[in-house]
Structure 1
């Protein structure tokens, strides 16, 4: 709220030389506030990096101006040698302050988040530099996605899918909508990118950037955005079901369809990829059922979608076929963000497969069950028991597929 309200004022503000000391004090206060928020809220703390960066830019400009003014005033010969280093040190005050805020080693969550923030600041400067040279540079879009989702390891708390996050400001959305309607694609990208850095869960904005990049035929940048979004949604699939505090969805219907398309077309095994097993002698209807269930889910008919899999379980002629139907039901639940339903189903399935020795003669099934279990626990609340469970699941997955286990490691 603070950043949202103050940002327009900052953009219109023209600092004067006499504002230098008050601005320094204000930046120090913001630094203390940022540190306090990090200590109390850890990764849930609001990102004030861009806000503080605006003050740093003002300070740097005023310090340069002060240095020029000092240089223009005649000084005694003996004092000349002292003036140069003073001006040089003054010009880098903000940079030194930012570096000093970072711990020399990471000893806890607060230190970790401080390092993350410093990395975000430095990479944002790199992104701005590259964008000034070429607004469609692939590296700009790769950097922006990295700093947006750095440290975002879980979804925000929600009640009936509604979070307490504020949506993008209406004034900003009106500007974006106008540019979209006028097909001013380059201006649209320039308007969206800074907003997306501040709104990591706003998937509809990511889709609009991709549409604009597609129109601009910026293939490298387009692929960078798609890959970043694909990886983020694979880590936190439930993001597509959540809304801002005014019920605006993180991903509108058009965006949900787009996300499905890029996940299916992307490289590597998607979370919702079909299970490859020997189906001789048993029904193979679960893949068609999965597609039907996905269509029902898009129409908000989740109960009917889940019933389709239950019907398949009832029609099964063997325990193995039942297990495959239940796996696909769990896979569907994870894809839809229904982790509270998927987790007990997957645990029961894992126990059943282990008890029957399936992991020895049909490792593909066990591998996919472990993968989904691991994803569910990684998206759950952080706790000692949760971390212990993740470690055990990861160790088991390493025995079946080391590459997949590496992909699911929280780097």
Structure 2
């Protein structure tokens, strides 16, 4: 493991006349794959397991031997701060300064992609801004005075170098592009050059392009070091005692989450607190009828049908673009107290999908890089927390609320939510434990995931067209069969069972024609499983002696195949 003194020299080392292709270094080398995987844990449940020493070692190796890569330099800076605090940050900023000063022409991304370089600095700016203490909160420890001064000097030099290397003309173009993102179409067309220049100065857009916000923050640290510590106020009177119960605990957490979210709709902590509070006392799947999967609500006093009935109202908010109001309404409805006396709002799973979709829309609409990052983290937190909840209570998404007073039934998760859970929540959960080398995703699975997302967004035909085009371009019979099977699965998942039956009955003829039960048993099992499930969904039960539309001859051999090759699939068909 290199010392900090050795790491400060990494940016000065020349790669020689024939360095490796930097694009291949970023996309194909084991070192870059490892550090990308570690950084991807930020903001998620695995954030505490990030191996900062590995990011430091691998980033330094890349910069020293393979590529003067701006992303590797940004990773190195942040990892050094996490590992060695301000002393590490001095080394990281030194490497970044040397990268700009000595390798501007040959570093990666290339000069033709200047915005991509600045995007890496934006990431570093947002990550450090998230973890650095507020200068107004008080002076730092005296031992940090020297490295803080060095950091400020290095940041000043970095920002000067950036402005000098980019040049006034290119810088002006970049700033105008950033300004245009913040202006309406009418403003862009009506403002004079002088008015635009005034807006540029007022918005301090250069701060967002470079590291000037960090420079100002470290300058504030220095000023705090120069100020004497304020006198401690007299000891305040002890607060009035409050009896702490499960109910008051959840109320406090609920109110904290509401306050955080209303202060900043992108705040990831608000979404984590909400789910922690709502599921704090949920230890098992609610008692329900095993055959009908109905969760009965005792008595009319629990207005259980209120949240699902609000879905219509929330859908209207989504269509009208009122995403902030939608998020607050969905989150506050879902997070009603589950402490005794328990209310079952916490089982309403549609809220998570609606919140994630609204965050995605808000993320697209904002130009603030920090907010974009926070929205991504918040979305990931919701997905990861929901995945944990579903792992802990397997099958809960298949249950339904049943109000005995009104005789109404509402699913815990509607069809869109079930599709989203399968496509975005549990699919992510299943691959999270695999290493990069173990994950080989076939193109039809990737496109099928995109198609399901279109279906969730009420764009069934667009999703179907993706799968159709993929099958048309297949290079072999096996690939084409896989595309067709995914198309049938897409029909099934989106409740188009008759279409799925037509597709699957055709695929079954292919299974018989080419003897796939022997050569591709898994494909033959999946065709049989889906086809039998579709028959069940259209009231064609396995134990019936006669089946409509001439399907009798298919039932018994299909079921027999499942029993031979996959007994669990056969049991699934019987249960459904």
TM-score grouping bracket, smaller chain normalisation: 0.3 to 0.5
With structure 2 as the length reference, what TM-score do the two structures score?
0.32
**TM score, norm. by length of structure 1:** 0.42
Higher relative contact order (CA 8 A, sep 6+): 1
